[in-house]
Structure 1
Amino acid sequence: MRMQEDEDRSVGVEDNIDKSFLISVPDNSNLVGETKIDTHRTKVQWKRKSVVTLSLTILTSSQAILIVWSKRAGKYEYSVTTANFLVETLKCAISLLALARLWNKQGVTDDNRLTTTLNEVIVYPIPAVLYLIKNLLQYYIFAYVDAPGYQILKNFNIISTGVLYRIILKKRLSEIQWAAFILLTAGCTTAQLNSNSDHVLQTPFQGWVMAIVMALLSGFAGVYTEAIIKKRPSRDINVQNFWLYIFGMGFNAVAILVQDFDAVMNKGFFHGYSFVTVLMIFNHALSGIAVSMVMKYADNIVKVYSTSVAMILTAIVSVFLFGFHLSLAFFLGTIVVSVAIYLHSAGKIQR
């Protein structure tokens, strides 16, 4: 009888020990689940950034080539303003199609509805005007530079973007990144050196002025647009794109009336268009969408450096398409710019 009581008592103690052990061990199942979700979200974001950045690099590398290729006898037979208008229209249509798909899948929410306040919309005309001027200059600069030279000079965007990034968005850059900007300037200049002519630089003065103006316009428009897009992170990017492109269409329509009204009325809206022109318009539209995606999910610095990588692809393709000769200066300048790209990436301030 006493042995039976001792056995029952020992079983009771064991039960108590087991229960107390279970109570003392924390339940980490939720923590593990949250960690897995965060890891998955990080992988998705990284994959999204990689895809849009790679897409932008490829599209940008072919952009200059298509613009040069669309010329006939050294001139644009089509209306540049109508081409720009169609680019904005196509981007707006793509944004609407993406929204329609989202509405069908998730329904209309506060973050993806088109209706909004005046305060949210009123900021979009500024970058729309800046992009209009910059895009028009983009065509006319090719009277002074070739496609690889354009891509080299386009890297001045990085300098203007870096400075404006610090001023407007209050983002701090490391000393290594500022040094990368100086190297970038040196690389762009080196690539333009011309040893076979009395002119020190391949690009004439007018080309440099247009390149610098384009860099300032592109840098300010890019940083300003990023500030708008990231001001409301939850807002769907396609809604933000829609309002930006609507104003872009409006300003480009005004440009048509001012610059090419007679030509459009006498020859038609699509006069001088070719298959290459259509390809160029689609390229510009997809590039614009890719730029906005990079701004939404990365930043302007990623954008301008991805377009810098495109200069190498442009130069290689131009060798076969236009008989472009890779001079020693261009080769050295490309190396310097590539080093600047690496230094800027390596010198990012850890937050």
Structure 2
Amino acid sequence: MEYRRIKDQDKDEDSIHDDVESLRGKPHSGSPKSIVALGGNSGDRTKWKRKSIVTLALTVLTSSQAILIVWSKRAGKYEYSVTTANFLVEALKCALSLAALARIWRNEGVTEDNRLSTTWDEVSVYPIPAVLYLIKNLLQYYIFAYVDAPGYQILKNLNIISTGVLYRIILKRKLSEIQWAAFVLLCAGCTTAQLNPSSDRVLQTSFEGWMMAIIMALLSGFAGVYTEAIIKKRPSRNINVQNFWLYVFGMAFNAIAILVQDFDAVLNKGFFHGYSSITVLMILNHALSGIAVSMVMKYADNIVKVYSTSVAMLLTAVVSVFLFGFHLSLAFFLGSTVVSVSVYLHSIGKLQR
């Protein structure tokens, strides 16, 4: 019932948008309607600019995310606690959201849409994506025992499949035939990029790596679709308020993870044991990436998010050549090309729906 109400609300918004478009098509020079149309065009340009900025920011941040995780290792191991790092990421995102809200309160005052006080019904939906992101983020560290940074970015594109399927199941949004064909190309591209003809092993990534990648894709897809649904349920609600409550639950679940997994290590060695400047940069990158993701979900959708991730895949591979001596094989080049084409077809298919 919850998602049906969200779907109905989306239909109402689409009908309003169609009405505005029909008004723009009628020449009423100098009339109030033409003024509204001009204002609407200005608003569309503002939204397009904002969407472009957050998408570009997400692409750049995502491209360096895997590199920083690999770089934070010492002798192939994490000397710091990954649970404390995740907790600090959530805490930093929460602090940044509060800082943005403080600025809004100072300039615009406290309103119904930007105040933190709310009802339990609104807040109660945030623990679900918070715990999903917790598990996904922990897996994100351990998967690098089986894949390198460019390979990780290739495998991350599997979340396009989970996102598309969950869009259809949960939000009841139909996908075009072009988009489903793009999914098939995506699988082919991911497999091609992982081919290793110089070894007795066909795929560079082991079975454990593939399983972790698939689980991460399912968790990321479900958490992303669910988060987009609850964020867009109330479009006028300030995104920083929604982020704040999501990150509060994220901090709570990560605190539990510290107690369960690393309590003795934190107690004996300290909360910041093993941290380096690279670790700090990684935490900052993850925090800014998380905020950029929520912005993309608010002003665009999950498909735009995974599109930026695929572009980031290419940037990661290029940078890894200089930092880690990564070899751009023909299989990786062809696989990356197929993945990029599949993402392009996916976006074209969405526009033609």
Give TM-score, length-normalised by structure 1.
0.92
Partner of 1:189: 191
Equivalent residues of 1:156, 1:215 under 8 A apart: yes
Partner of 1:301: 303
The one of 251, 258, 261 aligned to 2:260: 258
AA aligned opposite 2:250: G
Q: For residue 119 of structure 1, give the secondary structure of its aligned residue in structure 2.
A: helix
AA aligned opposite 1:311: M
Partner of 1:40: 42
Task: Give, in whole Å, the separation in 2 of the partners of 1:72 and 1:241.
Answer: 33
AA aligned opposite 1:130: L
Task: Give, in whole Å, the separation in 1 of the partners of 2:30 and 2:100.
Answer: 40
Equivalent residues of 1:173, 1:349 under 8 A apart: no
The one of 343, 346, 349 aligned to 1:344: 346
Task: Give, in whole Å, the separation in 1 of the partners of 2:86 and 2:351.
Answer: 38
Task: Give, in whole Å, the separation in 1 of the partners of 2:305 and 2:173.
Answer: 16
Partner of 2:205: 203
Deviation at 1:344, TM superposition (A): 1.0
The one of 323, 328, 333 aligned to 1:331: 333
Partner of 2:243: 241
Q: Which moved more, 1:276-285 or 1:166-175?
A: 166-175
Matched, 1:278 2:280: yes
Task: Give, in whole Å, the separation in 2 of the partners of 1:37 and 1:138.
Answer: 44
Deviation at 1:28, TM superposition (A): 3.1
Q: Deviations over 1:229-286 (max 9, x none)?
A: 0011111000000000000000000000011111111111000000000000000000
- Cα RMSD of the aligned pairs, angstroms, is 1.0
Partner of 2:97: 95
Partner of 1:157: 159
Q: For residue 123 of structure 1, give the secondary structure of its aligned residue in structure 2.
A: coil
Matched, 1:143 2:145: yes
AA aligned opposite 1:151: Q
Give TM-score, length-normalised by structure 2.
0.91
Q: Deviations over 1:273-320 (max 9, x none)?
A: 000000000000000000000000000011011111100000000000
Partner of 1:212: 214
Q: Where does structure 1 lack aligned partners over 5 or more consecutive residues?
A: 1-25
Matched, 1:230 2:232: yes
AA aligned opposite 1:122: S
The one of 311, 324, 331 aligned to 1:322: 324
The one of 167, 174, 180 aligned to 2:182: 180
AA aligned opposite 1:167: I
Q: Deviations over 1:87-112 (max 9, x none)?
A: 00000000000101111111111111
Task: Give, in whole Å, the separation in 1 of the partners of 2:303 and 2:29.
Answer: 43
Larger Rg: 1
Equivalent residues of 1:85, 1:249 under 8 A apart: yes
Task: Give, in whole Å, the separation in 1 of the partners of 2:341 and 2:102.
Answer: 43
Task: Give, in whole Å, the separation in 2 of the partners of 1:207 and 1:339.
Answer: 25
Q: Deviations over 1:162-198 (max 9, x none)?
A: 0001111111111001101110110001000000111
Task: Give, in whole Å, the separation in 2 of the partners of 1:259 and 1:87.
Answer: 17
Task: Give, in whole Å, the separation in 1 of the partners of 2:344 and 2:257.
Answer: 40
Task: Give, in whole Å, the separation in 1 of the partners of 2:89 and 2:230.
Answer: 21
Deviation at 1:27, TM superposition (A): 7.3
Q: For residue 141 of structure 1, give the secondary structure of its aligned residue in structure 2.
A: helix
Task: Give, in whole Å, the separation in 1 of the partners of 2:293 and 2:128.
Answer: 17
Partner of 1:221: 223
Deviation at 1:350, TM superposition (A): 4.5
Task: Give, in whole Å, the separation in 1 of the partners of 2:165 and 2:69.
Answer: 29
Task: Give, in whole Å, the separation in 2 of the partners of 1:346 and 1:118.
Answer: 40
Matched, 1:83 2:78: no
Partner of 2:315: 313
Partner of 1:59: 61
How much identity, in percent, do the aligned residues show?
Answer: 81
Q: For residue 350 of structure 2, give the secondary structure of its aligned residue in structure 1.
A: coil
